[in-house]
Amino acid sequence: MKFLDLAKVYIRSGGGGGGCISFRREKFIEYGGPDGGDGGDGGDVVAEAVDGLNTLIDFRYQQHFFAKNGQPGQGSQRTGRDGPDVVLRVPVGTEILDEDEETVIADLTEVGQRVVLARGGNGGFGNLHFKTSTNQAPRRANPGQPGVERTLWLRLKLIADAGLLGLPNAGKSTFLAATSNARPKIADYPFTTLHPNLGVVGVDNAEFVIADIPGLIEGAHEGRGLGDMFLGHVERCAVLLHLVDGTSETVAEDYRTIIGELEAYGGELADKPRVTALNKIDALSDEEREERVAELTEALGHAPMLMSGVSREGVTDVLRAVRAQISEDRLRRKRAEDGEEEDAPWRP
């Protein structure tokens, strides 16, 4: 299934049915009177967060969602039938934006959460509604209210506890594959990862979700490379794991590039807790390792963690450092959702 995290939809709620003008004309009834029923309400357009979806690809093939109109009222005091609602089933973590792509209408972060995007029009009153002691034969009825038509954007932000950051080919996908059951595409060239990947990792009898996004390059906030279109997927994370390629000869500059892109992106992303690790140390000699650590320590202000996603050296320590930045509430919730025992051992 192709990953899609942004979609444009056109919605329209149903219009209300018109009221009915009708009078009783029955044999052996001396006095008739108005008996026109009210029109039915139009259908709503509703968005609902459901389980089992992780992409908006369904909205690539269907963009128009129109609810049915309410039926008009009828004689004998019969009210028209309401129009059925139209439900947009979206993944958990979907933001619903107005047409300007900036105004957030709703943020669906829990399974079962619903929001009415366009309310159907009310049905019109029939002439029975206007009967009074001084107007016993009203000849008027209200038309139904029209529906609401609008254009919206759906933007998916994956629900994850930790996010992976780094330049292209920093080893993020290798790390995810080594610590979880996720199987992202791995190759020895940049921009192998073209869409985000999720993996459930565990350490010390606790599990959490890590999101791997495509690598950033300098100027990503201006649209260079894959741009910053995927940074929204780590906005909900509690902690960021920044991997620096140890085989690069400019590790300090690589580190500053990513930090600069986070600051240029804005919001609270640059202020989130970060764990910085020097990756691919298995490919370095002892002398090269010392040089890279010293250079990165000067840029960081403290010593980075050391690890290798291939040999798995230092991976457990990095996972424990990430785990320490995630609140117990999030971890317990993940275990409850997955139905796992808290004391179940983790096997990498």
Asked if residue 148 belongs to a known ligand binding site, the reply is no
Asked if residue 157 belongs to a known ligand binding site, the reply is no
Asked if residue 280 belongs to a known ligand binding site, the reply is yes
User: Please, are residues 83 and 41 in contact by the beta-carbon 8 Å criterion?
Assistant: yes
Write out the two tokens for 47: 């968005």
Q: Phi/psi of residue 333, each to 5°? A: -65, -40
Asked if residue 44 belongs to a known ligand binding site, the reply is no
Write out the two tokens for 286: 């002892």
Contacts of 293 (CB under 8 A, 6+ apart): 278, 303, 304, 306
Asked if residue 214 belongs to a known ligand binding site, the reply is yes
Asked if residue 34 belongs to a known ligand binding site, the reply is no
Choose among 228, 205, 203, 210: nearest CA to 163. Answer: 210
Asked if residue 308 belongs to a known ligand binding site, the reply is yes
Asked if residue 172 belongs to a known ligand binding site, the reply is yes
Asked if residue 217 belongs to a known ligand binding site, the reply is no
Asked if residue 195 belongs to a known ligand binding site, the reply is yes
Helices (H), ranges, 40-142: 58-61
Asked if residue 194 belongs to a known ligand binding site, the reply is yes
Asked if residue 146 belongs to a known ligand binding site, the reply is no
Asked if residue 215 belongs to a known ligand binding site, the reply is yes
Asked if residue 262 belongs to a known ligand binding site, the reply is no
Choose among 337, 331, 332: nearest CA to 52. Answer: 337
Asked if residue 192 belongs to a known ligand binding site, the reply is yes
Asked if residue 259 belongs to a known ligand binding site, the reply is no
Q: Phi/psi of residue 199, each to 5°? A: -145, 145
Q: Phi/psi of residue 134, each to 5°? A: -105, -10
- Cα angle 94, 63, 120 (rounded to 5 degrees) comes to 80
Asked if residue 2 belongs to a known ligand binding site, the reply is no
- Please give the annotated binding residues for Mg(2+), written as ranges: 173, 193
Q: Where is the binding site for GTP, in residues? A: 166-173, 191-195, 212-215, 279-282, 308-310
Residue ranges of the annotated binding site are 166-173, 191-195, 212-215, 279-282, 308-310
